């Protein structure tokens, strides 16, 4: 602790175009009211980093000397969340400002609320401290910058400004210790690397192999949340590239081929949709990431089951296997299974089922999935099916009828079974003489 500077580097925020005008009005209301109540309150983390980079933040977080209970008392429309890290959410309509209390970087008090397991993983961290102590318990130097909207200064205790200028991601403190405190920090490192385009500290890269195994101790539900942040923040294509080239991929997605073209195509499309403010669903990414596993299981099971039964069982097994690693909420697993189930019907385009497929609630997602498969596999059959469905959607009702008639004409006629005529036994007997 003696090596940690007590006084921060102070930067005039205005000189770097960091002004109150660029800060969310609700976040300013939170800091102003906390300050008026006698507490310290500043903006912290990614919002300060992005403001300094010239990027307008989407979210604004506040750090304060007030405890969560004191924040709750001061703001009527607020609630406390979290057990591992207790924080306050202050609500302004649909806008939520996250308010965290200054915490200590470490504590020697045996009776405080910090808990570690045998490997060093933090189980609970509600040990409150000073602004100085709070800076050193954060993860990355570039995420430990504070902006005081009252004084108009940016405060840096940990060398974050230097790393920001060098475009480098570096942990505060010893990487091995910080990762053991919370192995999920390595996924955050990849996410920020993908988002910011920064280089990763070589000391962090050196910890990747061992960190991959440490992730197995993280609850599956929390890993799913981190995976969503990794792939649904607008930088999925780069995030997958970084993940696939690391030892982490084999732990998080053991059944997904690292070089899968389908995954790359889908991740790029997800980024494009987010950039255009179009909706995206985790269920689609689940379908993409587990597609190869689902196919492989289907082929194996068809040796002992009817095709429909094999596909249903393969879907259940693929989802169940991934559930052991990253929990998948039921609504997303059902979404993926519907998308998989419609692929065969989209490919075959049997006239009697085309209308039902087109009216299916997951048709559009399944159609997009077919497009991605065609683009990634370069299969003539898939490209033909994708083109057919594209035309079918865009044409007029009478033209659709013509397309259906063409499909009926192209389909082989079902063979009719011949009925054996029963000859009347009386006809077979000779007439009485």
What are the residue numbers of the active site?
59, 61, 139
Record the tokens describing residue 97, joined without a space: 């400002």
Record the tokens describing residue 283, joined without a space: 């269920």
Q: How far apart are CA 73 and CA 327, in angstroms?
A: 35
Record the tokens describing residue 80, joined without a space: 């406390």
Asked if 230 contacts 259 with a C-beta cutoff of 8 angstroms, the reply is no
Q: Cβ–Cβ contacts within 10 Å for residue 244, how many?
A: 18
Q: How far apart are CA 226 and CA 49, in angstroms?
A: 20
Q: How far apart are CA 192 and CA 237, in angstroms?
A: 13
Q: How far apart are CA 410 and CA 384, in angstroms?
A: 15
Q: How far apart are CA 256 and CA 243, in angstroms?
A: 12
Q: Sign of the C-alpha dihedral, residues 187, 192, 195, 200?
A: negative
364 by Cβ neighbours in 10 Å (0-12 / 13-18 / 19+) ranks as: exposed
Record the tokens describing residue 116, joined without a space: 């570690």
Task: Output the CA–CA distances (angstroms, integers) from residue 285 to 42, 263, 279, in the order listed.
Answer: 37, 8, 13
Nearest to 48 by CA among 36, 31, 65: 31
Bridging pattern class, strands 87-92 and 145-148: unpaired
Give CB contacts under 8 A, 24+ apart, made by 336-341.
336/283, 336/284, 336/286, 336/287, 336/290, 338/362, 338/365, 338/366, 339/283, 339/284, 339/287, 339/365, 339/366, 339/369, 340/287, 340/291, 340/294, 340/311, 340/315, 341/311, 341/312, 341/315
414 by Cβ neighbours in 10 Å (0-12 / 13-18 / 19+) ranks as: exposed
Task: Output the CA–CA distances (angstroms, integers) from residue 115 to 10, 83, 84, 104, 124, in the order listed.
Answer: 33, 12, 9, 13, 5
């Amino acid at each position: 602790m003696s090596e940690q500077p007590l006084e921060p580097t102070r930067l005039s925020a205005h000189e770097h175009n960091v002004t109150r005008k660029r800060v969310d009005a609700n976040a300013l209301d939170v800091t102003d009211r906390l300050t008026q109540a006698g507490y310290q309150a500043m903006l912290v983390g990614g919002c300060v980093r992005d403001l300094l980079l010239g990027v307008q933040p989407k979210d604004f977080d506040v750090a304060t000397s007030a405890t969560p209970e004191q924040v709750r008392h001061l703001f009527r429309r607020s609630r406390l969340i979290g057990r591992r890290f207790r924080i306050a959410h202050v609500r302004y309509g649909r806008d939520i400002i996250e308010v965290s209390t200054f915490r200590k970087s470490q504590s020697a008090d045996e009776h405080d609320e910090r808990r570690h397991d045998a490997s060093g993983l933090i189980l609970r961290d509600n040990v409150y401290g000073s602004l100085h102590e709070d800076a050193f318990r954060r993860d990355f130097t570039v995420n430990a910058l504070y902006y005081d909207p009252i004084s108009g200064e940016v405060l840096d205790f940990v060398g974050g400004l230097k790393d920001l200028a060098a475009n480098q991601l570096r942990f505060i403190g010893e990487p091995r210790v910080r990762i053991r405190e919370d192995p999920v920090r390595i996924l955050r490192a990849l996410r920020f690397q993908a988002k910011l385009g920064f280089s990763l500290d070589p000391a962090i890269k050196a910890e990747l192999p061992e960190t991959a195994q440490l992730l197995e101790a993280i609850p599956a539900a929390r890993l799913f949340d981190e995976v969503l942040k990794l792939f649904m923040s607008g930088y999925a294509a780069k995030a997958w590239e970084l993940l696939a080239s690391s030892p982490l991929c084999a732990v998080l997605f053991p059944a997904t081929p690292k070089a899968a073209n389908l995954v790359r195509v889908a991740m790029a499309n997800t980024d494009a949709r987010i950039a255009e403010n179009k909706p995206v669903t985790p269920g689609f990414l689940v379908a993409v990431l587990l597609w190869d596993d689902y196919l492989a299981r289907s082929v194996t099971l068809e040796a002992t089951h009817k095709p429909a039964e094999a596909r249903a069982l393969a879907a259940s097994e693929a989802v169940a296997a991934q559930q052991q690693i990253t929990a998948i909420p039921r609504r997303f697993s059902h979404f993926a299974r519907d998308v998989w189930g419609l692929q065969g019907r989209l490919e075959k385009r049997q006239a009697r089922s085309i209308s039902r497929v087109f009216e299916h609630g997951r048709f559009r997602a399944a159609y997009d999935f077919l497009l991605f498969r065609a683009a990634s596999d370069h299969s003539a059959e898939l490209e033909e099916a994708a083109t057919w469905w594209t035309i079918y959607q865009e044409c007029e009702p009478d033209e659709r009828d013509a397309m259906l008639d063409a499909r009926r004409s192209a389909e082989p006629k079902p063979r009719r079974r011949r009925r054996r005529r029963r000859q009347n036994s009386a006809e077979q007997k000779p007439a009485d003489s």
